[in-house]
Amino acid sequence: MAAAAALGCRAPCRTGWLPTLQIVRHAKSVTRHWKAMHFERQKLMAVTEYIAPKPAVPEKCIAPRIKAVEEENGYAKLLRLQVAETFRDSKMIAVCQHNFTPSEEMLLMKHRLRKHNIHVKFFPNEIVRPYLSVSKYKNLLPLFVGYNLMLVSPEIKVKEMLRILKNVPQINLLGACIDNTILSNQGVINYSKLPTVEITQGQVVGTLSLMASQTCGLLQHSSVHLTALLDQYIKQQSGGAGEADGKAGEGQAELGPAKSSAGL
């Protein structure tokens, strides 16, 4: 039947007869090819594009950012208090660069320094730098780079500190703050060569007493000299009067025998 129908389709169709099976091939048009928009239409679309109006108040002002407040660690608070107490109670604060040092040498250095009431302090830079930036010691900030340690003491003992640090080459002195004065490494060495306060005070007292004695001597010189001149004048006057009286007595004695001889 199918073959007959196919053959019947190929043969010319008779009038008034319809084939039982017809094969029709439908062609579908391709519409997916991209085509550029016309230039005039592009301009029209650009002009008529919708632009949303901007709000009168920025969104940042309407809804401010919420910053998460981080609570400070309790250990950090304790270190901050210790740093403030150290800088407040110490007259000598030396900043040193700490290289690798054996534990035995470090313990020996601490023991020698503690004999002179000098203590070794370790504080992280994250704790020290914020304190220095708002204090009067802010010029010490360039020294706190890397791993540092501080030698602090309520007394000024620079000579003892330098003598002990000479035996520990791993610890290098960077600078110090002595009696509210910031000094470099060379400045600390020059400060150690100065005499002690007691010797300086004695020298100042001796200089002042010498000046006072010289001033007193200059003020009394004229009066003493005048007194000596008056004493000499009085002695001269008294000596001249005695000589005149002696000469008068001798003249009278000579005249007396002459008168007696004349009367005889």
CA dihedral 6, 10, 14, 15 (to 10 degrees): 100
pLDDT at position 121 is: 92
SS3 call for 82: helix
User: Going by C-beta distance under 8 Å and a sequence separation of 6 or more, which residues neighbour residue 16?
Assistant: none
SS3 call for 129: helix
The tokens for 193 are 């060569």
pLDDT at position 264 is: 45
Tens of pLDDT, residues 13-30: 555 566 566 665 665 666
pLDDT at position 72 is: 73
pLDDT at position 66 is: 75
Instruction: Output the CATH code of domain 74-193.
Output: 3.30.70.1730
pLDDT at position 116 is: 92
pLDDT at position 176 is: 92
- Give the global pTM: 0.53
pLDDT at position 96 is: 92
- Those residues of the chain that have pLDDT short of 70 are 1-31, 64, 240-264
pLDDT at position 81 is: 93
pLDDT at position 1 is: 44
Phi-psi region of 19 (alpha: psi -120 to 50; beta: other; left: phi over 0): beta
